[in-house]
């Protein structure tokens, strides 16, 4: 079944490549792709998701855009999905009854997550008659409901121009930009102090989270999101031998954290920071695993993880010495339990950055920074 999905999507990609110059990608790359309906881009919470090797779309979120009605019948444990031309009933998440009473099984079952119905994208093609086009250049999938919809190539060009204009505006509008990033949390003692400081100073940061810390600290994760901070993946265990011994192990570590983030907060992120930095992700095997992600490194090291005895004054001095001649600074710090001195240094770091003309911003998925692997 997985092969069938890859074949069908590859056909679409090949057609796009011939007509619009898009590049082909593997099926795994469609995770976290944004969604377009005809010529309309949906908001960032509506993205394609991968479950068990299949690509899904959040049907509840896009039903109005694709003119679909959904009726749930809890007495028969069934869901009826219909548009202007077709109607299907899905029983027990997998068995499909067509309008002519033909019975068949979905290639991939419905997934119920975060009060949403995730519907396999192949079902949109096979059962509801929509066209699906993959726009790799802008990491998006377009679901086509109208025959005269705008050409996909024009959508790609418009989106790329929009990003270019935004990058130019960002460059001219913020002569000096600093990104505060924190690795290795969540921690019940240090992380709240850092969040309190960021809130007091009205500053947003980026947290690269270790997956195994999430279950005991869900409230901290939800607070980060509510207060506008960006969230990235920092593997599940942070244990070098678990992470980098093979591409399969790296993918497992990342996937486990992605699942933990989604289960705890409904969060999907494409930001990733490799534990111990870029030295360990040089091989083609590991690069292939990281292809769907924005792998964010840094160009300013606070040195807070180099010695257990380092004090807040040394951390501050290290940051100042490295940022003073930079226009754009990605600063690495840590918020695990051994980094109380980092929390103490943070107010002075923020004060120095503000006093010296830096705008402090979180790293978003489309942030135009250059310190990435």
Angle at alpha carbon of residue 168, lines to 165 and 171, rounded to 5°: 150
> Is residue 166 very low, low, confident or very high in pLDDT (cuts 50, 70, 90)?
low
- Model pTM greater than 0.85? no
- What 3-state DSSP class applies to 96? strand
Segments in the chain forming alpha helices (H) = 2-20, 59-62, 121-126, 152-173, 190-200, 218-226, 240-244, 247-265, 284-290, 312-323, 340-355
* 229: annotated active-site residue: no
Q: Which of 234, 238, 334, 339 is catalytic?
A: 334
Collect all residues with Cβ–Cβ distance below 8 Å to 187 and sequence separation of at least 6: 213, 217, 335, 336, 337, 339
pLDDT by residue (tens digit) across 343-365? 999 999 999 999 999 999 999 98
pLDDT by residue (tens digit) across 195-250? 999 999 999 999 999 999 999 999 999 999 999 999 999 999 999 999 999 999 99
Report the candidate in 243, 264, 265 with the shortest Cα–Cα distance to residue 254: 243
The strand pairing partners of 41, in sequence order, are: 36
pLDDT (average), residues 91-110 = 93
- All structural domains of the chain, each given as residue ranges with its CATH number in brackets, are 2-165 (3.30.457.10), 174-360 (3.20.20.370)
| pLDDT for 7 | 42
Residue 39 and residue 153: Cα distance in Å, rounded? Answer: 11
Q: What end-to-end distance do the CA atoms of the chain give, in Å? A: 34
**235 Rama class: left (phi>0) / alpha (psi -120 to 50) / beta:** left
> Is residue 172 very low, low, confident or very high in pLDDT (cuts 50, 70, 90)?
low
Q: Which of 183, 187, 304, 335 is catalytic?
A: 183
What are the CA-CA distances from residue 322 to residues 60, 177, 275, 315 (Å)? 48, 14, 21, 11
| pLDDT for 21 | 38
pLDDT mean across residues, the chain = 88
| pLDDT for 175 | 79
* 238: annotated active-site residue: no
């Amino acid at each position: 079944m997985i092969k069938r999905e890859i074949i069908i999507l590859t056909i679409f990609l090949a057609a796009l490549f011939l007509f619009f110059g898009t590049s082909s990608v593997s099926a795994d790359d469609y995770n976290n792709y944004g969604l377009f309906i005809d010529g309309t881009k949906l908001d960032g919470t509506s993205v394609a998701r991968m479950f068990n090797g299949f690509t899904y779309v959040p049907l509840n979120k896009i039903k109005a855009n694709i003119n679909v009605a959904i009726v749930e019948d809890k007495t028969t444990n069934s869901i009826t999905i219909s548009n202007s031309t077709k109607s299907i009933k899905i029983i027990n998440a997998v068995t499909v009854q067509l309008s002519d009473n033909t019975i068949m099984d979905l290639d991939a079952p419905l997934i119920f997550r975060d009060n949403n119905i995730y519907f396999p994208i192949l079902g949109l093609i096979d059962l509801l008659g929509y066209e699906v086009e993959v726009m790799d250049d802008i990491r998006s999938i377009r679901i086509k409901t109208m025959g005269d919809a705008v050409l996909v190539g024009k959508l790609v060009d418009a989106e790329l121009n929009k990003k270019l204009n935004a990058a130019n505006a960002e460059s001219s509008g913020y002569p000096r930009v600093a990104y505060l990033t924190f690795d290795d949390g969540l921690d019940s003692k240090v992380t709240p102090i850092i969040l309190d400081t960021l809130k007091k100073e009205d500053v947003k940061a980026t947290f690269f989270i270790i997956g195994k810390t999430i279950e005991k600290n869900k409230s901290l994760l939800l607070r980060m999101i509510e207060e506008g901070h960006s969230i990235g993946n920092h593997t599940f265990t942070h244990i070098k031998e678990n992470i980098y011994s093979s591409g399969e192990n790296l993918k497992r570590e990342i996937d486990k954290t992605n699942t933990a983030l989604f289960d705890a907060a409904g969060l999907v992120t494409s930001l990733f920071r490799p534990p111990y930095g870029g030295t360990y992700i040089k091989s083609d095997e590991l690069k292939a695993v990281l292809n769907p992600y924005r792998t964010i490194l840094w160009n300013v090291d606070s040195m807070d993880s180099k010695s257990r005895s380092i004090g807040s004054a040394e951390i501050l001095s290290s940051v100042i010495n490295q940022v003073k001649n930079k226009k754009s600074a990605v600063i690495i710090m840590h918020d695990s339990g051994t980094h109380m001195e980092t929390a103490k240094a943070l107010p002075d770091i923020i004060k120095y950055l503000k006093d010296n003309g830096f705008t402090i911003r979180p790293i978003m998925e489309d942030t135009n920074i250059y310190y990435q692997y």
